[in-house]
Amino acid sequence: MTPVLAFDIETAPDCDGLRRLYDLDPGLSDKDVAEIAFQRRRAAANHDFLQLHQHRVIAIACALREGDGVRVWSLGTPEDTEADLIRRFFDGIEKYTPQLVSWNGGGFDLPVLHYRSLVHGICAPRYWDQGEDDRDFKWNNYISRYHARHLDLMDLLALYQPRNNVPLDEMAKLIGFPGKLGMDGSQVWSAYLGGKLREIRNYCETDAANTYLLYLRFQLLRGVFDAAQYQREVELLRGTLAKSADAHWREFLHAWK
């Protein structure tokens, strides 16, 4: 069975980069630097969501179904650098050549990882292969929008029409999955400023778990799983999470209908 890797990232403004881009006073706090960037963005686009190259990756969570088991975890440690986290992500692709699964990964997560990989000089040949090294990748690779090695569930279910996109949280809750817990994306920056990186990593993990559960449901929808297979896969994840003593997984299981 091809390993399946559902993933999610969390980001914060790249304050060091913003100081360089806008020639800001090095003595300005990160909060002030970010506020200047938000104000510039509001003036240019009528919202304060920064362009993707101005984001810094602060957490990457994965749900990996491989062999006889499944696990959900955050890459690296809270002390690791952005480059360390990104390198670990692409090293996993080198090792497993997994089926990548995301919710809006084509619109956010992967482009952010592309730009930040350029910043840090990270090498990811398996991910970027489009048939140069492996001929199979000419017809099915991670990069082409309509190829299957990366499955952006939101984009596909919306039939590639942005006006049809729906939030991960709402889709998960409609099915009976937990949805978002603890915070949402709009609260990550304030949580980061408050030193709550561990809480951000936990939140990112629950998003990866929700994404994986939606992928299982999609496999039922398209007939890859029958009802019994689907239930076995769902219970495998539930049973795995039940073994954890971490509070965010206890909360996740309590919210799971």
Q: How sure is the predictor about 81, in pLDDT bands with cuts at 50, 70 and 90?
A: very high
Please state, in angstroms and rounded to a whole number, the distance separating the CA atoms of residues 119 and 81: 13
Q: Which domain holds residue 38?
A: 4-255
What's the pLDDT score for residue 184?
Answer: 82
By CB atoms closer than 10 A (0-12, 13-18, 19+), residue 230 is middle
| Mean per-residue pLDDT, 217-224 | 98
Please state, in angstroms and rounded to a whole number, the distance separating the CA atoms of residues 31 and 28: 8
By CB atoms closer than 10 A (0-12, 13-18, 19+), residue 182 is middle
Q: Is the pLDDT of residue 98 over 90?
A: yes
Q: What percent of the chain has pLDDT over 90?
A: 96
What's the pLDDT score for residue 141?
Answer: 97
What amino acid is encoded at 237 in this protein? Answer: L
What's the pLDDT score for residue 17?
Answer: 98
Q: Minimum mean pLDDT among 37-46, 64-73, 151-160, 182-191: which range? A: 182-191
- CATH number for the domain harbouring residue 15: 3.30.420.10
Please state, in angstroms and rounded to a whole number, the distance separating the CA atoms of residues 156 and 158: 5
Which residue has tokens 């975890």? 73
Tell me the CA distances in angstroms from 251 to 4, 184, 239, 241, one per residue in order.
25, 15, 14, 11
pTM of the model: 0.97
What's the pLDDT score for residue 1?
Answer: 84
Residue 187 structure tokens: 């609260």
Q: What percent of the chain has pLDDT over 70?
A: 100
DSSP of 29-95, one letter per residue? -HHHHHHHHHHHHHHHHSS----GGGEEEEEEEEEEEETTEEEEEESS-TTS-HHHHHHHHHHHHHH
Question: What 3-state DSSP class applies to 245?
Answer: coil
Please state, in angstroms and rounded to a whole number, the distance separating the CA atoms of residues 162 and 170: 16
Number of structural domains (the chain) is 1
